Amino acid sequence: QKEVEQNSGPLSVPEGAIASLNCTYSDRGSQSFFWYRQYSGKSPELIMFIYSNGDKEDGRFTAQLNKASQYVSLLIRDSQPSDSATYLCAGRGGDAGGTSYGKLTFGQGTILTVHP
Amino acid sequence: EAGVTQSPTHLIKTRGQQATLRCSPISGHTSVYWYQQALGLGLQFLLWYDEGEERNRGNFPPRFSGRQFPNYSSELNVNALELEDSALYLCASRREGRETQYFGPGTRLLVL
């Protein structure tokens, strides 16, 4: 089992729709979770991070975390063609001295296409 | 505020050679992380440096090594290059006490 798994893509949504991206993780010691967006040929850029159970909203983006279910999601409202990219979910390990300490473990990414 | 910078942008080497990749973190950031993004393998954690010390290491062979300098810049060295080392190498930096790692533009290494 991969430590961080993302829903299989690619995901295609029409412009203006809600895009839903999902991620599950296996390491219960993970402290916080990040969503990055990566355009083809570019480096990842941070969308937002979350570390408390519940929802966190930032503009058109809402991240949701459920630690009991070990589940993280990202909702993109009013999707735009410029949102077309690969979305990476990552968890940060916590325990000092452990193999996962401090590092980000990434899922394989979900390719999102927003078509006009 | 200038972002993370990496050099060179592209690097072509032959098998068996050594490669040196460089990273300058965002001003005020003390932690530097290195990741490898190989085709089909996703982003894999390589190394984490903080205050000049190696804090954690990913599941990579010892020929991947690095260091962090007193000005917090960092260097990644890959010895005895193999074809499968061809990848995008990303550096990220983080400010102490903060959560977020910010990525540089990467160095694309091609091993022939």
DSSP summary character for residue B29: -
Q: Does B99 touch chain A (CB under 8 A)?
A: yes
Residues of chain A positioned with their CB less than 8 A from the CB of B42: 106-109
Residues 6+ apart with CB under 8 A from B75: B20, B21, B22, B23, B66, B67, B69
Nearest Cβ partner for B104 among A43, A51, A92: A43
pLDDT in tens, A61-95: 999 999 999 999 999 999 999 999 999 999 998 76
Across the interface, do A88 and B101 touch by the CB < 8 Å criterion? no
Spatial contact of B74 and B49, defined as CB atoms under 8 Å apart: yes
pLDDT of residue A1: 61
pLDDT at A93: 80
Closest partner CB to B56 (pick from A44, A88, A102): A102
Instruction: Read off the pLDDT of each residue in B98-109 and give the average, rounded to a whole number.
Output: 95
pLDDT tens for B2-51 read 899 999 999 999 999 999 999 999 999 999 999 999 988 889 999 999 99
pLDDT over threshold 90, residue A20: yes
B93 in Cβ contact with B27 (< 8 Å): no
Are B99 and A109 an interchain contact pair (Cβ–Cβ within 8 Å)? no
pLDDT in tens, B55-76: 999 999 999 999 999 999 999 9
- Residue B53 confidence class, pLDDT cut points 50, 70, 90: very high
Kindly determine whether residue A99 and residue B56, on different chains, have CB atoms separated by under 8 Å. yes
Cβ contacts of A105 on chain B, cutoff 8 Å: 45
- pLDDT, mean over chain A: 91
Beta bridge pairs of residue B15: none
Residue B54's pLDDT is what? 94
Are B42 and A105 in contact (CB < 8 Å)? no
pLDDT at A100: 67
